Amino acid sequence: MTDQNSAQKPVVKTGGSLSGSFRDQFRSASLWDHLASPARIWRSKISWRITITVFLTILTVQAVVLVVTASDFKTQKLHEMRQLARVFVISSLGDSDNQLTAPLTQEAADRLFSETMISGISIYGLDYNLIQVYGETVVLRPSASTDATLQQLSASNRFYEVVLRSHEIRRPYHIAVKLYTAGIAPQINQHIQQSILIIMLLSGFVTSVLMLVLGQWLLEPVMVLRNNLLSAAQNPEKPDVRRPRRETRDEIGMALRIANDLIRQNAHNLRKLRSQAEDKIHKLAYYDNLTGLPNRTFFLEKLDDNIRHRVAEEERRLAVFAIDLDHFKDINDTMGHEFGDKLLEAIGKRLVKALPAGSLISRASADEFTAMVVLKEEHSDTATLVDQIFNAMAEPVSILHERFQVRVSIGVAHSPDDGMEARQILKNADIALNRAKEEGRDTVRYYSEDFDLAVQQRFQMLRDLRMALEENQLRLHFHPQFDLRSGQLIGAEALLRWWCPDNSKEGGRFISPADFIPVAEQSGLIVPIGEWVLKTACKINKQWQDKGLPPFRMAVNISGVQFHRADIVALTAQALKESGLDPKWLELEVTESVFMENMQVAIDILNQLHQLGVELAVDDFGTGYSSLSYLRQFPIDRLKIDQSFIRNALINNDDRMIAKTIITLGHSLNLKVIAEGVETVEHEEFLKAEGCDEVQGFKYTKPLPQDQMREYVINHNRTMAQNTTLKVIEDKNA
Ligand code: C2E
Ligand code: MG
Ligand code: MG
């Protein structure tokens, strides 16, 4: 099918540089035909210009020719008059003897005047003397000086005078004749009118023929070319390219063909470019650059599709897996981003391999993958698929000559069981994943409505916690720390308590920091809370000192979020300044996780804190992921053995070994070692035997409110003093 035959209307974009009126005209396909029709060609500007130019040119040439021929015509007519006059005159001259004196009789002259156009005659002898005169006076007269044919037109053009020489009339005299020219003018006029008519007809005819030829061979192809170019400008990707009704192989035909080819080629290239760009945009919008897997947007669309068709219509069951790499951030930070990228790529490939064909695997965020499997009979057990994923991760991944063991946490949600809305299902899988991560990682959790409830509760808790901060519902309790050998109270850890008022008969209840600190950390609320804790702890410690209590160290927990997101150095300096507490009576407890985020930044911050004069302890030591080599680089004063090792030291050999190793390691690095979670005498004895420096635990007391703590310190010091006195007396007695 040729372009011309194509039924497709030219698609006109609203943009473009062409005038609106033309665009409107161009919208109609039938108008196109009109544009290239002969009528249109004749009405075209170029056509008019050529027509008028050709017509006027022919007219001008003909007019010049007419002027020339009209003059010739007049000359010829005058000549004919002269010849006629000669004939009349000769026939009127008699052959009498008195020819020389009276060649013409009055009678003959009168006849001439009445019957011919002759109105006057003067006859001269050969000596040029006047012999006879009849009728009107003839001004022209022969002379010897000129032999030429004498003739002249009167100024008014009414008379024409000629001299007939003797040899012309074959008589021995010359005759001057005056002739009326009245008969010539109409003839000349008629001649001119006829000529003009012919000229007009000829010009019209020539112009018409020329225009027909030009129209077909030049104007129509040019019009078609113009329309094709307009169409290409309007709609470059799908121009309505047409051919003239008769194609020629001349220069114009060739030019049109080349132009049409170029327009089509351009349209083809543009379409190709657009489709490539669309492909690229589609890829960018729907695929992950790194792994080449679909992204979250694509996944959600497909999930929605599958829920509507496979689940709703075909009544199939569908499982969605949210898969998260455990500790990917740590891996990325310690091994570098190149390594992290390669790891993600490898994991993506493994997941694709692990799940059955037809599954959709996507990379949803940095280290989270999602998978969707429409369950068939043989895969109806989602647990089998989960096993396949875990098995795929079992083999260490080899990257940059390193073998790396990857662990993942998985959350699973089903449709229709857990919802019929794509976002809901994915959210539920994420909730299950979070549960898996909270409950130790490297595990799977299947979504249950209770999880949802837990999430709701968290949101509620966050709202309440915000209010708690504003309404002073936060308190500090203090957990004493002792020198293990002397039993001296050497410090206290400030522990946050949230007194949440309710309708119970107690008027409220304490919420454990273990419950609300993670929520505060996730929401960033830990920053203002931590600020309050630090300032309050410093203030209380200084108050105790001012009231005469022997000074001791106040340990304050600093969350990783607070350490990296807030200016902890400035805050500490401010808390010390505001309270007036000597920095040596303040200790900050940080967990190993703060070293993992950004080692260099952590070293800088710790150094600055140390320069303030405060002490630094590593809390929950032994539970973190970090290597021991970092210890040397940090300005730390104290290792705090996690209570889980102490609790299990007497029943679990591994934990006992870990506790022992931490004490030895701490001492080898010149650090003090404090054990928390000391609940029994056996714990204390074990730690004494291993040379641990300091202790904290329920064996001595539970964490105490401010007033009770003060009393506790006073009582403890009193007891210590009594014991010392008793010992001195005993020693003396001994
Ligand atoms: P942590 O810093 O390791 O604090 C020690 C926790 O162990 C305290 O629990 C303390 O009451 C408990 N503990 C100490 N000795 C014994 C013992 O012998 N037996 C038992 N069963 N428990 C013992 P608490 O007060 O519930 O605090 C839990 C965690 O909450 C803290 O662990 C700390 O990580 C966090 N936390 C508490 N207060 C703050 C705070 O002000 N800021 C920040 N960022 N975190 C805090
Ligand atoms: Mg602590
Ligand atoms: Mg601890």
560 lines ligand 1 (CB under 6 A): no
Q: Residue 571: exposed, middle, or buried by beta-carbon count in 10 A (0-12, 13-18, 19+)?
A: middle
Instruction: Indicate which atom in ligand 1 lies nearest the CA of residue 517.
Output: 45
464 lines ligand 1 (CB under 6 A): no
pLDDT value at position 498? 94
Whether the predicted pLDDT of 683 surpasses 90: yes
In this structure, are 527 and 619 located in the same domain? yes
Give residue 530 CA to ligand 1 midpoint distance, Å.
14
pLDDT value at position 104? 86
Q: Comparing 489-493, 626-630, 643-647, which segment has the lowest mean pLDDT?
A: 626-630
Contact 214, 207 (CB under 8 A): no
In this structure, are 150 and 184 located in the same domain? yes
Residue with CA closest to ligand 1 atom 17? 677
Angstrom CA distances, 413 to 149, 433, 451, stand at: 130, 10, 11
Per-residue pLDDT, averaged over 375-398, amounts to 86
What are the strands, taking DSSP E only, across 75-144?
118-125, 130-135
Which ligand lies nearest to the CA atom of residue 703 in the structure? Answer: 1
More confident residue, 231 or 13: 231
Q: Is residue 689 part of a domain?
A: no
Give me the domain span that covers residue 532: 460-636+704-727
Q: Give dist(CA 392, CA 356) in Å, integer.
A: 13
Most confident of 65-69, 329-333, 593-597, 664-668: 664-668
In this structure, are 379 and 294 located in the same domain? yes
Q: Is residue 529 part of a domain?
A: yes
For a pLDDT cut of 90, what percent of the chain falls above it? 46
Give residue 70 CA to ligand 2 midpoint distance, Å.
129
Instruction: Indicate which atom in ligand 1 lies nearest the CA of residue 496.
Output: 38
Q: What is the CATH number of the domain that holds 606?
A: 3.20.20.450
Closest by Cα among 36, 75, 338 to 215: 36
More confident residue, 614 or 97: 614
pLDDT value at position 95? 65
Structure tokens at 292: 């080449």
Angstrom CA distances, 178 to 141, 146, 150, stand at: 11, 19, 12
For a pLDDT cut of 70, what percent of the chain falls above it? 91
495 lines ligand 1 (CB under 6 A): yes
Question: Rounded mean pLDDT of the chain?
Answer: 86
Q: Is residue 382 part of a domain?
A: yes
Among 425, 447, 469, where does a domain finish? 447
Q: Give dist(CA 190, CA 204) in Å, integer.
A: 21
394 lines ligand 1 (CB under 6 A): no
In this structure, are 488 and 589 located in the same domain? yes
Q: Is residue 24 part of a domain?
A: no
Whether the predicted pLDDT of 56 surpasses 80: yes
Kind of pairing, strands 397-399 and 402-404? antiparallel
Contact 373, 388 (CB under 8 A): no
In this structure, are 464 and 436 located in the same domain? no
Whether the predicted pLDDT of 702 surpasses 90: yes
Q: What is the CATH number of the domain that holds 326?
A: 3.30.70.270
Give residue 81 CA to ligand 3 midpoint distance, Å.
146
Q: What is the pLDDT of residues 500-558, one digit of tens each?
A: 888 888 888 888 999 899 889 888 899 999 999 999 999 999 999 999 999 999 999 99
* Residues across the chain: 734
Q: Give dist(CA 528, CA 437) in Å, integer.
A: 26
Whether the predicted pLDDT of 16 surpasses 60: no
Q: What is the pLDDT of residues 199-256, one digit of tens each?
A: 888 888 888 888 888 877 888 888 888 888 999 998 888 998 888 888 888 888 888 8
Split at pLDDT 50, 70, 90, the class of 272 is very high
Split at pLDDT 50, 70, 90, the class of 475 is very high
Which ligand lies nearest to the CA atom of residue 646 in the structure? Answer: 1
> Coil, strand, or helix at residue 691?
coil
Whether the predicted pLDDT of 25 surpasses 50: no
Split at pLDDT 50, 70, 90, the class of 9 is very low
In this structure, are 413 and 519 located in the same domain? no
In this structure, are 490 and 374 located in the same domain? no
pTM: 0.53
Among 189, 218, 237, where does a domain finish? 189
Per-residue pLDDT, averaged over 436-460, amounts to 85
Neighbours of 696 (CB within 10 A): 24
In this structure, are 414 and 551 located in the same domain? no
Among 189, 205, 234, where does a domain finish? 189
679 lines ligand 1 (CB under 6 A): yes
Q: What is the pLDDT of residues 648-674, one digit of tens each?
A: 999 999 999 999 999 999 999 999 999
Angstrom CA distances, 451 to 430, 444, 445, 458, stand at: 10, 14, 10, 10
Ligand 1: which of 557, 686, 702 to mutate, judged by most atoms within 8 Å of the beta carbon? 557
pLDDT value at position 533? 97
677 lines ligand 1 (CB under 6 A): yes
In this structure, are 78 and 158 located in the same domain? yes
Q: What is the pLDDT of residues 298-310, one digit of tens each?
A: 999 999 999 999 9
In this structure, are 432 and 505 located in the same domain? no
Structure tokens at 236: 């470059």
Give residue 589 CA to ligand 3 midpoint distance, Å.
9
Split at pLDDT 50, 70, 90, the class of 386 is very high
480 lines ligand 1 (CB under 6 A): no
Ligand 1: which of 590, 643, 684 to mutate, judged by most atoms within 8 Å of the beta carbon? 643
**Residues in a beta bridge with 577:** none
Q: Is residue 626 part of a domain?
A: yes
Give residue 539 CA to ligand 2 midpoint distance, Å.
19
Q: What is the pLDDT of residues 326-339, one digit of tens each?
A: 888 877 877 888 88
Q: Is residue 197 part of a domain?
A: no
Q: Give dist(CA 98, CA 106) in Å, integer.
A: 14
The whole-angstrom distance between residue 8's C-alpha and the CA centroid of its chain comes to: 31
Most confident of 68-82, 112-126, 556-570, 576-590: 576-590
Split at pLDDT 50, 70, 90, the class of 380 is low
In this structure, are 501 and 412 located in the same domain? no
In this structure, are 373 and 469 located in the same domain? no
pLDDT value at position 38? 63
Most confident of 35-49, 224-238, 616-630: 224-238
